[in-house]
Structure 1
Amino acid sequence: MMQSVKLTSHKGISSYWLDRKGLCTGTLIFGVGMRNEPPTLAGITHLLEHLLLRMVQPVTVPHGGMVNADSLQFYASGQPEDVAGFLNEIAAAASTLEALTEEDLALEKAVLEAEDSHKFRTVSAGLLTYRYGTNGVGAAHFGAPATASLTTAETSEWAGRWLTSGNAALTFTGPLPVSLDLCLPPAKPVKRAQDSPLIKAPTLIMSRKQGIALSLLVPSHDARFLGEALQYELLVRLRHSRGLIYSVENFTTPIDAHQSQLDFILDPLRANIVLVLREVLEALHGIAEAGFSENAVQSTRHALLSELGWDDFVPQDYLDQLAIDALLNRTTADRQELLDRAAAMSSAELTKILKGSMASLIVALDKSVKLSKKVGEKLALTIDGYEIWQRHHDPENHHGAEERDAEYPTWRHKSSDATLSLTPTRLLWRDSGKTKVISLADVVVVGHRSCGCISLMDRRGRSSELSVDDWKASKKLRRKLLGAFPPENIRSFPED
């Protein structure tokens, strides 16, 4: 007989549990993740997770923590009383972060760097950032070099804002243990930003990342079906028929209660990237017009039936998703609803979903790959170079603007004829008669690296590393450049 999910409240915390005896897994979930972090605090939820786990050591039962775009989770498995003890300690630690020492903070930052040194040091935008910029869900796809300068005061304030009983949920694969006694601060109102895309037309992003990636906005209740069907079609066309790729990975990220971003990552050899670009666009448009094959529909149905083939138990990840969706005011389709929809899914319905999503298509392509003008014209995509340095245009009074800019401090490059000028609103780079510009108002994070470099990131997640030592009077340049931005936007970054 299928288990039913029980819903009760533990000290104001919504609790989802199963009536099953024996060993169990318990998870404490908070409705805060990477999408809630402002760019200057990117990485703070991950650091907070590490610090809380440090504070409750030693722990002898299997346990851990996890941060994603939407949530922060702590979990343990074992005897119910042991699991309850671990979660009790996590809740207690959330209110006592002030007790952490600078040594504790430094040690966990070192662990985070070892965990993912690239993310710890580098700003590196991904598909969510391309579409949404640095705010909201776009924050889930860029690096976290600001982690290096986060303080205990900042992490404590972050915990006080988000780690409350009203922003928490519990899941247990058994009954709630009698010894469970979570002491969290009372609920506080939290502000959740409504994410709006910056890109609203089919666009090709010339990206710093290798290979090819695709992104679509789709109805959330159809994302899983469309992802499986498109993965099947692309593998048939690009791997089995042409030998151009090895894999197609697909990922779904909920954006709000109704919409999700569906991403596909392909892995062609660099020599085949332009060919795969043409082929994948032809495949998408062809499927949208002619429809999905019956084999794709059957493959999708079988994948969903296999995934949902529970017998007499409810999986842990389904319990956790119920809790997260409830915290974020989203609905979770139950097993029978998904099974019924999988059984009824048709090629015509999948095709209609794809066709309705094509206007949101983003394709990301390795920027080092050169596209011919002929290929570019046939793509039917707006091409976005995705660079923070933009070509400087002043059609009304170009020469007058340059004269006005020349009145402001200018630095000369040590080994070229390039110059750098700083005005109250712009940073200008002139070289070989061409001028590139960064609008100071668009910069949301300024990273001051220990090597002397300055990292600039704008609201779209575009970034640049400026080595001030390459310019004459570099100390003055560094001082003037850092002084051009609000102090709250400046963070110390690690050496890259």
Structure 2
Amino acid sequence: MFTTSVDGVPVFFAQGPPPLSAGLVFGVGRRDETFVGGGITHLVEHLVMRAVGRTAIEVNASVDLTSTEFTASGPADHVVAFLHAVCGALGNLPVAELAVEADVLRAEGGTVAPPAVALLLGELYGSRGAGLAASREPGVRALGPEDVRGWVRRFFTRGNAALWLTGPVPEGLRLPLPEGPAPERAAQPRLAPATPAWGQIPVEERVTLGAEVPPHPALTATMGVLRTRVEDELRHRRGVAYSIELDRPAVDASTRVAVLTTDVRPGHEAFAAQLIWRELHRLADLGPEPAEIERERAEVTAFLDDPRADLEEACATAHATVTGIPVIAAAELRRNAAELSGDAVREVAGALLASAVLLVPADTDPRLPGLVRLPEWSADVVTGRVFPRKRLRGVPKEARLVVGDEGATLVLDEDRLITVRWREAVGLVRQGPDECLLVGPDGFSLPLSAEDWRNGAEALALALAAVPEELQVVDDDALDDGLLLLRAPAHRVREAVAHERYGARLVANGEWTAVLPEGGRTAESVADDLSAVLGRGTTGLVLRRSHVDVGYVLLRGAKEVDRHGWGASPGNPQLLARATGRPDAHTAHLLGVVGTTDEILQHVVLALGLPLEVPALMAGAEPTRAERVEGQGIAGAFRASVRGDFVGPEGSGGPVDRWMRLTHTRPGWYRAANACGALLAAAVLYALVTVPDLLDGGFGEIAVWVLAGSGLVNCLWETRPPRRPGPAGPTVEDRPVEEPRPTPTR
């Protein structure tokens, strides 16, 4: 292996067969991220490869626990061009494509370690550093241009890069990376569970043994002997497994995690765990056989004698240079193999035994004495305000939520509880309206749903106020709120909103009213709430927009009757026509429109007569004209209705609306008619009092008394002069609306 440098970047190469292969390595991986910023390294890698584009040679890129690598193989000039393009892309990321690549990452669903290995790291390190391998990446879509540019400036620099080659440095190679030193990394936090231990993980038909140990010359040989013994028993003798694998993820310069994992036929998981534990005990107690030592030596010698070993060493040295995790050179490997002894293997096996963690599938008990159970629940409860459960919500009977100054605790019963303290929280993930997930450093997650607890909205507000804003993120899988439009005049929607406990802003044009609710509620949930007052036959339209598509959900009351996505799933134009009062031909043309998302939205606004502000509202803009309505609850809304607060403008609405306007404006003829009604009711009451036996008594007479009495009171009330209106501008329905210009289709 040879060493040189290009533009200040260390280069390691060994002579290998053509074509030329190269790997540009950066010392940044999953361990360097935070929980809420998970996936940012992978996102940078995707943006770089997008900028590089298609090439005529074989290229690839990857992110693992500790590093990011861009590789290429082909003619030297093509490899040089690829490496130069990577460096250029890092200085000019195509951030306009962030949303697309974020969705690609979600579709890819990749991890930096196999599931069982990742979960083992989570048990050892929680939700920080190497333990993030077990954590999902909750908010990739929330990462913005400045986030990825800042990540590049911090980690993708000349001082944090190295290059490996399978041949001499090709002519013309340049690595124009930005200046910057290698980043400083904090020490890896550890949970340090009591060991040896066992636990259950959601990985079926697999048993995994792992242990955190310091580097040792005999570690590889010890794991090799153990793997051979387990394979002989589980696969070759009993036929209950197929692939027994080893892994040694490096956490930092002084720590290795030795892992043995095997697949298992269903029903044999407990037996496989017992056999692995037995063989590790035997190796720690009795050591290896001489033949096993010789086999391990022979494997090391065969590997080092292979000409490709020099190439492997060049690649490993490049990774070690940027990650800070040392690699064992070829000469040292030969010396360790020659000096390998049974005592050294037995010593390492004993260390593995003392710090072992054995993981089995859920509902499996290995029934092994001497192993403690990994913590399943938190150990203590915070003090604070107690929120009792709501009934009929599926919450256990004894459950309660405690929110205090230090943190929050979910108590399911006296033995099962989850506690997360505010100062230790690694993230608060908003999963939906009034629903969050509070994540602690130990990997425990506390669900917070306002609907599960009495006064749950107050509990959620306390959590949102206690966790720093930079640790709060919207879940990528949370339902897009969407924009709710109701085919109802603003005064009707105003009344419906007033009946709720939350407020909203309304933007209307007489036919449609856009509802912008407070509190992060989804459009469908708001439609469900408001339809109780508006009527279950009210037409609703929920518009949603992504970076490539526009779609709608058509509602009747709160019930979905159809949905459509331009360029995706087609809807039914007849249903849309009947619900909106448009001709079938118009809606059929609308659903067939092709164009950009902006063009499609303009067509929707024109064809359905929606408020002109709809495109801007869907882009997140603040409405320039909007009416804010306070939620008053049922009692407050009733009082407001009596005052006439929900009367629509003259000439709008049906018989009920016209009657409500009369009770509010009370013109002279209306008051005169009520005065006559009051006289008539008074005459009936007088006759009932003065004329003996006018009625036969019983229920009929009681009904006449009630009707006449209530009629008298109501008619007298309606003879009052109307309230003098105060100075006010036009309502949201009365303001002039500029006619939109049609946008040509593509």
Q: TM-score, normalised by structure 2?
A: 0.58
CA offset at residue 54 of structure 1? 0.7
Whether the 8 Å contact between 2:418 and 2:444 is mirrored in structure 1 is: no
Whether the 8 Å contact between 2:36 and 2:138 is mirrored in structure 1 is: no
The correspondence of residues 412-423 of structure 1 with structure 2, limited to 5 A, is 412-416=390-394, 417=397, 418-423=399-404
Tell me: CA distance 1:173–1:431, structure 2 relative to 1, closer, same or farther (3 Å): closer
CA offset at residue 471 of structure 1? 5.0
Measure the CA separation in 1 of the matches of 2:15 and 2:295: 34
Measure the CA separation in 2 of the matches of 1:380 and 1:319: 44
More deviation, 329-338/81-90: 329-338
Whether the 8 Å contact between 1:68 and 1:140 is mirrored in structure 2 is: no
2:199 is the counterpart of 1:209: no
State which of 317, 322, 332 in structure 2 corresponds to 1:337. 332
The correspondence of residues 385-396 of structure 1 with structure 2, limited to 5 A, is 385-387=375-377, 390=378, 392=380
Amino acid at match of 1:126: L
Listed one character per residue, the Cα deviations across residues 366-399 of structure 1 (whole Å, up to 9, x for unaligned) are 342256xxx3xx5212212334xx36569xxxxx
CA offset at residue 29 of structure 1? 0.8
Listed one character per residue, the Cα deviations across residues 266-317 of structure 1 (whole Å, up to 9, x for unaligned) are 2234522233333322221121001123443344334334433313x55543
Whether the 8 Å contact between 1:202 and 1:361 is mirrored in structure 2 is: yes
Tell me: CA distance 1:57–1:136, structure 2 relative to 1, closer, same or farther (3 Å): same
Tell me: CA distance 1:166–1:434, structure 2 relative to 1, closer, same or farther (3 Å): closer
Measure the CA separation in 2 of the matches of 1:301 and 1:463: 46
Partner residue in 1 for 2:131? 138
State which of 272, 276, 280 in structure 1 corresponds to 2:272. 276
2:158 is the counterpart of 1:177: no
Whether the 8 Å contact between 2:248 and 2:258 is mirrored in structure 1 is: yes
Partner residue in 2 for 1:70? 66
CA offset at residue 117 of structure 1? 6.9
Measure the CA separation in 2 of the matches of 1:382 and 1:489: 34
CA offset at residue 10 of structure 1? 0.9
Q: Could you list the runs of 5+ residues in structure 1 that have no partner in the other structure?
A: 395-400
**1:308 aligns to what SS in structure 2?**
helix
Whether the 8 Å contact between 2:420 and 2:438 is mirrored in structure 1 is: no
CA offset at residue 217 of structure 1? 2.8
The correspondence of residues 419-434 of structure 1 with structure 2, limited to 5 A, is 419-431=400-412
The correspondence of residues 81-230 of structure 1 with structure 2, limited to 5 A, is 81-97=77-93, 99-101=94-96, 104-116=97-109, 126-199=119-192, 201-210=195-204, 211-218=206-213, 219-230=215-226
Tell me: CA distance 1:305–1:328, structure 2 relative to 1, closer, same or farther (3 Å): same
Tell me: CA distance 1:192–1:199, structure 2 relative to 1, closer, same or farther (3 Å): same
**1:263 aligns to what SS in structure 2?**
strand
Whether the 8 Å contact between 1:453 and 1:465 is mirrored in structure 2 is: yes
Measure the CA separation in 1 of the matches of 2:199 and 2:392: 33
Partner residue in 2 for 1:246? 242
The correspondence of residues 295-306 of structure 1 with structure 2, limited to 5 A, is 295-306=291-302
CA offset at residue 145 of structure 1? 2.3
2:420 is the counterpart of 1:439: yes
Measure the CA separation in 2 of the matches of 1:19 and 1:428: 60
Partner residue in 1 for 2:690? none
CA offset at residue 189 of structure 1? 4.8
CA offset at residue 193 of structure 1? 2.1
Name which structure has the greater RCO, CA cutoff 8 Å, separation 6+. 1
Tell me: CA distance 1:392–1:257, structure 2 relative to 1, closer, same or farther (3 Å): closer
2:350 is the counterpart of 1:355: yes
Measure the CA separation in 2 of the matches of 1:391 and 1:198: 14
Amino acid at match of 1:449: Q
Whether the 8 Å contact between 2:14 and 2:310 is mirrored in structure 1 is: no
CA offset at residue 478 of structure 1? 4.4
Whether the 8 Å contact between 1:420 and 1:428 is mirrored in structure 2 is: yes
Whether the 8 Å contact between 1:125 and 1:462 is mirrored in structure 2 is: no
Measure the CA separation in 2 of the matches of 1:293 and 1:235: 16
Aligned length: 469
Q: TM-score, normalised by structure 1?
A: 0.85
**2:41 aligns to what SS in structure 1?**
helix
Partner residue in 2 for 1:257? 253
Tell me: CA distance 1:263–1:207, structure 2 relative to 1, closer, same or farther (3 Å): same
More deviation, 81-90/437-446: 437-446
Amino acid at match of 2:390: R
Partner residue in 2 for 1:397? none
Tell me: CA distance 1:118–1:87, structure 2 relative to 1, closer, same or farther (3 Å): closer
Whether the 8 Å contact between 1:27 and 1:76 is mirrored in structure 2 is: yes
Whether the 8 Å contact between 1:125 and 1:143 is mirrored in structure 2 is: no
Whether the 8 Å contact between 1:233 and 1:296 is mirrored in structure 2 is: no
Amino acid at match of 2:296: T
Q: Could you list the runs of 5+ residues in structure 2 that have no partner in the other structure?
A: 479-746
Q: State the 4+ residue runs in structure 1 displaced beyond 6 angstroms.
A: 432-435
**2:139 aligns to what SS in structure 1?**
helix
Amino acid at match of 1:54: R
Amino acid at match of 1:259: T
Tell me: CA distance 1:12–1:259, structure 2 relative to 1, closer, same or farther (3 Å): same
State which of 460, 463, 472 in structure 1 corresponds to 2:445. 463
CA offset at residue 47 of structure 1? 1.1
Measure the CA separation in 2 of the matches of 1:45 and 1:37: 8
Tell me: CA distance 1:80–1:262, structure 2 relative to 1, closer, same or farther (3 Å): same
Measure the CA separation in 2 of the matches of 1:14 and 1:433: 58
Whether the 8 Å contact between 2:248 and 2:256 is mirrored in structure 1 is: yes
